[in-house]
Amino acid sequence: MFKRGVLLLLTLAGCLGLLLAAGCSQEPETIKIGFNVELTGDIPKVGESAKFTAEMIREEINAQGGLEVGGKKYPLEFIYLDNESKPESAVNATLKLVEQDGVMAMIGPNSSKCAVPAGGVCNERQTPMISPWSTNVDTTKGRPWVFRAAFLDSFQAPVAANFAAKQFNAKTTAVLFDISNDFSKAMADTFKQVWEAKMGPGTVLAFESHGAKEQDFSAQLTKIIAAKPDFFFLPDLYNHVALVVKQARHLGYAGPFMGPDSWASAELMALCGKDCVGQFFSTHYAAAGAQGATKDFIDRYKAKYGYVPDDVAALNWDATHIMLQAIQNVGKIDPDLSAQRKAVRDALANIKQFDGITGKMRFDAEGDPIKCAVVVRIAEDGQFIFTESVCPE
């Protein structure tokens, strides 16, 4: 009897080994997607916008029975991990999502300082990733598994420079940036190159930097104010923007500011208040005056969460729908996760055009969208008012 039991166990183990060797795992019951987001740290509003938007999508699709792929509906299972807005935490979150949680694909991180290292991990582990908000070229460069929904710094910098020169009749400028942040440093460097090519060497009168945890900018601002620039370019995250603008006004700077899309958080005006009124920044969409699908998204988001969605929310909406479109385009859910990830990556690469709520976009060979930017002005009531649209030539 004992021998027969042992024989039965060995037979079952042998069958299990054959099944595993043959890759005969079961078809997943859900479509599992990871979200690598900044829920804590220095930009928690970014993570909140990303998660709120993803939950809207998940609830709406699951209320209809799930995402239809190849004639069958699969409920969406979203896993949110907090990257604390730190590069090392973003890498750890990516490893957990990819290797332990077994996600089919990953959305995020949003900030470039997290998206650049996380993109390296996804590319090495052959897992498709879309960063909604990162504009640093290194996020996708040479990484066939990594995509994005935002335009690049190399496009945004000329938009800001050309608009500021026209709007402020400016010939000179000054720049202050976060040297520890990939986005901020790259944006500052690119803007300086663009401005000096346009206005001549030496027309960036001051080029100052600060660290991630710095709160007092009086040393840098004193130099900048003494240089008397026509305007002040500030490629910083919204939390630093509020501190810098307030301190600059306190020290006597009365001139205009111009910024990139990193200003476009729903929390900017809560932190900056009237000191930011009247300033301009380039970004991905303008909520005020939006129409069509964009207005519908804004209305539903505002009804659900109580405030107007920022561009992070809008870009996360587009990034998540691009990923879901790619999964649908595959046409089936393969029980082999590696094979499914490869099929989704290929489907992403084959999406040549997408009509998002941040505008129509087409993708180049690097997985970067080619799309228009908008410049907005901060109104008295805190709304971001559309000023002009600038499209790639």
Please state, rounded to an integer, the average pLDDT across all residues of the chain.
91
Angle at which helix 292-305 crosses helix 311-330, to 10 degrees, equals 110
What pLDDT is attached to residue 153? Answer: 85
Q: Extract the tokens encoding 251.
A: 């020290």
Interval 10-67: pLDDT, tens? 444 444 443 443 444 677 899 999 999 999 998 999 999 999 999 999 999 999 999 9
Q: Give strand pairing partners of 82.
A: 37
According to the model, what pLDDT value does residue 393 have?
A: 64
Domain range summary for the chain, segments of one domain joined by +: 31-151+290-371, 154-283
Q: What is the pLDDT of residue 27?
A: 76
Query: What's the pLDDT tens digit per position in 143-165?
Result: 999 999 998 888 899 999 999 99
Q: Residue 287: what pLDDT?
A: 87
State pLDDT tens for residues 90-110.
Answer: 999 999 999 999 999 999 999
Q: Fold for 31-151+290-371, please state it.
A: Rossmann fold (3.40.50)
Q: Do domains 31-151+290-371 and 154-283 have the same CATH topology?
A: yes
pLDDT > 90 fraction of the chain, expressed in percent and rounded: 81
pLDDT at 288: 83
> In Å, how far from its chain's centre is CA 37?
9
On the question of pLDDT at 299 being above 60, the answer is: yes
Average pLDDT of the residues in 153-179:
94
Percent over 70 (pLDDT), the chain: 93
The helix (run of H) or strand (run of E) holding residue 375 is strand 373-378
Place domain 154-283 in its CATH homologous superfamily.
Response regulator (3.40.50.2300)
Three-state DSSP class for residue 387? strand
pLDDT in tens, 329-383: 999 999 999 999 999 999 999 998 999 999 999 889 888 998 999 999 999 999 9
Quick one: average pLDDT of 122-129?
Answer: 98
pLDDT at 23: 42
- pLDDT, average across residues 204-229: 96
Please write down the HEC assignment for all residues of 162-227: HHHHHHCCCCCEEEEEECCCHHHHHHHHHHHHHHHHHHCCCCEEEEEEECCCCCCCHHHHHHHHHH
Q: Does residue 175 carry a pLDDT above 80?
A: yes
pLDDT band for position 392 (cuts 50, 70, 90): confident
Q: What pLDDT digit, counting tens, does each position of 301-319 carry?
A: 999 999 999 999 999 999 9
Helix (H, G, I), strand (E, B) or coil at 328: helix
